Amino acid sequence: MMKDWNLDASWSLFLDRDGVINERVFGGYILNKMDFVFKEGVLETASELFRNFNRVCVVTNQQCIGKGLISEENIQELHAFMCKKFSSKGAHIDEVFIAREINNERSMDRKPRPKMGLLAKALYPEIDFSKSIMVGDTDSDINFGKNLGMKTVLIVSEEECHSLPDLKVSSLKEFNTLLK
């Protein structure tokens, strides 16, 4: 299936954070570095995986900010920690986009709405959504990608997902293997 996508170095990769990069805390939030546990194989795979793409962006809903559970400064420190860990393995993340709002009907920034993708394109005009892949573990991730015309990859987890992704995998490591 992925051979049909005609991937080349001009493509962009969009990644959800919780459940894709790090272990997700169901019913809770990652509020500090001690709770930020990278999923198995993510750091070891990232350098090879990210080299396949022109841009790599993280798009993450973090309503814990809107709820006042973590400050803007602390979420930035957490993401700097994450990016530094990737850099230490030779993997570069271009940007982390955060939706800070509480999940409700007035939410304009949160996935599945396209705002974080549009912000990425404004910052990096070479991003072509038809040549982009969104990797996530929830309906909102998959629908975010579909709303922007991206290919979608679901990391299968405990989360029940009803959306139909283009591809289902168990991990970023498996996704990377399929790119070869």
Mean of the per-residue pLDDT values of the chain = 95
- 62 belongs to a structural domain: yes
Among residues 4, 16, 109, 128, the one annotated as catalytic is 16
Q: The domain containing residue 42 runs over which residues? A: 17-179
Q: What is the pLDDT of residues 41-86, one digit of tens each?
A: 999 999 999 999 999 999 999 999 999 999 999 999 999 999 999 9
Q: Put the strands of the sheet holding 151-155 in their side by side order.
A: 95-99, 55-61, 12-15, 132-136, 151-155, 167-169
Residue carrying the six token digits 């920034």: 109
Residue-level length of the chain: 180
Residue 167 reports pLDDT greater than 80: yes
Count of Cβ atoms closer than 10 Å to residue 115 Cβ: 16
Q: Which amino acid is at 25?
A: V
Catalytic residue flag (residue 18): yes
Q: What percent of the chain has pLDDT over 90?
A: 87
What is the number of domains present in the chain? 1
Catalytic residue flag (residue 137): no
Q: Looking at residues 83-107, what average pLDDT do you find? A: 94
Q: What percent of the chain has pLDDT over 70?
A: 98
Q: How far apart are CA 127 and CA 177, in angstroms?
A: 24
- 8 belongs to a structural domain: no
Burial class (CB in 10 A: 0-12, 13-18, 19+), 51: middle
Kind and range of the H or E element at 61? strand 55-61
- 6 belongs to a structural domain: no
Q: What is the CATH number of the domain that holds 150?
A: 3.40.50.1000
- 10 belongs to a structural domain: no
- 3 belongs to a structural domain: no
Distant-in-sequence, close-in-space partners of 92: CB < 8 Å, separation ≥ 6: 50, 56, 86
- 1 belongs to a structural domain: no
- 7 belongs to a structural domain: no
pLDDT of residue 175: 95
Among residues 18, 94, 141, 166, the one annotated as catalytic is 18
